């Protein structure tokens, strides 16, 4: 299992680090919810990681 994830991870290792972090987090969330026909809560989890990475990359330009 981890081998398969490693193989996938290797395929996007050249992407921008922020994008890489988002992709890794989203794939992990999808993996956890794969047993559900409708991945309940996936939108919130994607938003959470996008928010975290975006705020970090904009640090210094935002007031709070």
Partner 1 sequence: MKLEHIELRNFRQYFGRHRLDFSQDENRNVTVIHGVNGAGKTSLFLALNWCLYGAGVESIGQIISKEAMLRAKPSETVETVVMTVFIHDGIRYHASRKLTGQKRPDNQIIDIPRDGEFVLSRVPMSGVAKKVDNPIGVMNMIMPSNVRTYFFFDGEKIDSFARPEKADEVRFAVFQVLNLSVLERAKNHLGLKADDLRRELKNISSGELERLLEKDVTMRENGKALTEKKEQLEQEIRAAQQHAAEVNQTLETYKEVEALQKQYNQYADEIGVREQEMVKLTERIRQMASSGYVSLYGDVIERALAVLEEKRRRGEIPSNVRQPLIEDLLSQHMCICGRPFSDHDDAYNHLVHMLKTAVPSNLEDDVLETNGRLRSLLERGPELQENLNSAMTDKAELQDFLTSLYARQDDIKRQMKDAPQTEISALARQRDRYNSDIDSYKGEVVRCDLEIEENNTVIRGLEKEIAAAKKTDERAQLLDRKLKLAQDATYVVSEVYEKFAENKRLEIEQRTREIFQHLAWKSEHFQDVCLTSDYQLEVIDRYGSPARPELSAGERQVLSLSFITAMADVAQREAPLVMDTPFGRLSSAHREAITASLPHLAPQLVLLVTDEELRDQALENLSPRIGNQYRLNFDPKSSCTTIEEL
Residues 1-60 that bind partner 1 (CB under 8 A): 1-5, 7-8, 11-12, 15-16, 18-20, 22-23, 26-28, 30-35, 39, 42-43, 46-47, 50-51, 53-55, 57-58
Helices (H), the chain: 2-11, 17-32, 42-57
Do you know the residue count of the chain?
64
CB of 60 to partner 1, least distance (A): 12
Q: Write out the H or E segment, with its range, that includes residue 9.
A: helix 2-11
CB 49 within 8 A of CB 26: yes
**Cα-only R_g, the chain:** 14
Q: Which residues of this protein are in contact with partner 1, per CB under 8 A?
A: 1-5, 7-8, 11-12, 15-16, 18-20, 22-23, 26-28, 30-35, 39, 42-43, 46-47, 50-51, 53-55, 57-58, 61-63
């Amino acid at each position: 299992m981890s081998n398969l994830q490693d193989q996938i991870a290797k395929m996007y290792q050249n992407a921008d680090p922020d994008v890489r972090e988002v992709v890794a987090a989203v794939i992990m969330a999808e993996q956890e919810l794969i047993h559900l026909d409708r991945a309940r809560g996936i939108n919130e989890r994607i938003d959470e990681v996008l928010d975290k990475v975006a705020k970090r990359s904009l640090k210094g330009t935002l007031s709070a």
